[in-house]
Amino acid sequence: MNYNDVYRYWLESPYISEEEKRELQAIGNNDAEIKERFIREVEFGTGGLRGVLGMGTNRINKYMVRKVTQGFADYIKAAGKDACAAGVAIAHDNRRFSVEFCKETAGVLAANGIKAYVFDSLRPTPELSFAVRELGAFGGVMITASHNPPEYNGYKIYDAQGCQLVPDVNDIVVGYIDKVSDPLAVKSLSFEEADGLIEVIDSDMDEKYYSAVMSVSINDVKKDGLKVVYSPQHGTGNVPVRTVLSRLGYNVIPVEEQCVPDTEFSKTDNPNPETDGAYTLALEYAKRRDADIVITTDPDCDRLGVAVKQNGEYLRMTGNQSAAVLLKYILSQKKEKGTLAENGIMFNTIVTSDLGDRICDSYGVAVEKTLTGFKFIGDKIYTHNAKGDTFVFGYEESYGCLIGDFVRDKDAVQASLMLCEAAAYYMEQGRTLLDVLYSLYDEYGYFLDALDNFAFKGIDGTEKIASLLTSLRNDPPAAVGTASVVEIEDYETEKMMNAGFPKSNVLKFILSDGSWVAVRPSGTEPKCKFYFSVVAENRAEAEKKLELMRKAFERN
């Protein structure tokens, strides 16, 4: 069927409600809109399902959620009766239809004879990962679109380790999803019809998670002198972050307007901690209350952003910077206490700053790189634990890190605790988190990082991104700025696969001065990302290098 045939099939289907049909009827004279919604199905990619809400096969709606869940259910059933009995833990964030999609997921699983465990209200992504492991479940599902705009939602699948699916397993699950021919015909049971196959997860799970998070604390620091402003960006972090920090005695000032779960994110300029807009209201609070630090978590609470008062101003730290300071704090304190494992290992990604690598080298901690996506770090934790290595830290440049491996995804609840502890610890020494960062630059070199996103919307966006990467492969730069390109890491080649990396459409240009540029398509959005990492003697030199590096890629 062509896209018009699929549109008419949906419009005439007895499974579609009258309200849903009215949405479809409203676009009846708009061929471009019909094509956009029905030319293809929304893709379950390496980051799961994520897209714009609405009716259509290329939109996020209950029917496409049912289809993906039916594919996952078929995968579970193929694994056997024990897998079905172990079941699936399901959680959701604060977004539009997140509650409904959570119930639909449970209903489809139950219709297939698979046990489903459902949280009674919104919970952070890391707690879902924790719950999978705690319940001994076969897998998990998180309904979230992280920090995307309000019109988005998504669906992520986790394995029995509480880790998002790695590519080999993801491909198998996608194969099952693709075999589900008609999303409108997938059966979903109500909770009442499920006959005990759907179970609500009670507050005991919260308490177990909170206890695990508090166990990562290293020092009993003096807390009463530290003022912390916190915003959950209308999302899932409000209760867990404030609970953990409060129980440990931290003075937390909540941004009240942004503590209310809100599908529209109406009181924040932007819920993404990587953007200035996420801090606007929190900084107003900080200035009124003379706070020492501002922290904010994204709506599903797996990423943490921070701003630090320095010489009367509040300065934001990047994900690379805050993680480097946390890494230094953790390693230095564990070494001082004699608890730093001799076989310790840290994981970060190929687009993460090398500053953390240098810190680890100085403490005798091994470093292993992964592709972008915390699922790769979660998977490395599992495989290296089996080898007898000891996980000490994991992080990405995109504001996500992990401290205790009872979770296998990035965890902003843990990160919030450790960041506040580090801030309090250094405050007793008369130093801020930025003072510590600057001392790292003095010791290891000045690192400056930047990320440029180029959006390619529409049905031809994927093709444009592919063409851009092909152009860079066929005509790579010989130099970037004043430095020559000494090596090109192409993660689609056999060389990189032999080095242990899954095949991926990523290019990384290593420069003669230790700087690098990496280019990759986003796994969840129609964007191509350019990562710039500069190493220099000082900030002025680094900024000049960065400007030249960006200009070198303007043609793309």
> Domain spans of the chain?
40-201, 209-315, 320-444, 448-552
What is residue 300's predicted lDDT score, i.e. its pLDDT?
Answer: 98
User: How many of the other CB atoms lie within 10 Å of CB of 443?
Assistant: 12
Taking every pair of Cα atoms in the chain, the longest distance, rounded to a whole number of angstroms, is: 71
Tallying the residues shown for the chain, one arrives at 556
Look at the domain 448-552 and name its fold.
Answer: TATA-Binding Protein (3.30.310)
Residue 48, both tokens: 């799961």
What is residue 523's predicted lDDT score, i.e. its pLDDT?
Answer: 64
pLDDT tens figures, 362-382: 999 999 999 999 999 999 999
Distance CA 506, CA 386 (A): 29
What does CATH list as the number for 40-201? 3.40.120.10
List of E strands, 320-365? 344-349
Residue 358, both tokens: 């240098």
**Residue ranges, the chain, pLDDT below 50:** 555-556
How much is the pTM? 0.95
Helix pair angle (238-247, 203-214), 10° resolution: 50
Closest CA to 376 of 347, 336, 411, 419: 347
Residue at token pair 């699950």: 173
> Which of these is catalytic: 98, 129, 146, 504?
146
What is the DSSP-derived secondary structure letter of residue 150?
T
CA angle (29, 464, 483) in 5-degree steps: 155
| φ and ψ at residue 5, rounded to 5 degrees | -65, -45
The alpha helices in 445-487, defined as continuous H runs, are 461-474
Look at the domain 209-315 and name its fold.
Answer: Alpha-D-Glucose-1,6-Bisphosphate; Chain A, domain 3 (3.40.120)
pLDDT tens figures, 14-28: 999 999 999 999 999
What is residue 556's predicted lDDT score, i.e. its pLDDT?
Answer: 45
What is residue 458's predicted lDDT score, i.e. its pLDDT?
Answer: 64
Task: Reply yes or no on whether 98 is catalytic.
Answer: no
Distance CA 15, CA 18 (A): 10
Domains 320-444 and 448-552 equal at CATH topology level: no
What is residue 230's predicted lDDT score, i.e. its pLDDT?
Answer: 99
Radius of gyration of the chain (CA): 24
CATH 3.40.50.720 given to domain 320-444: no
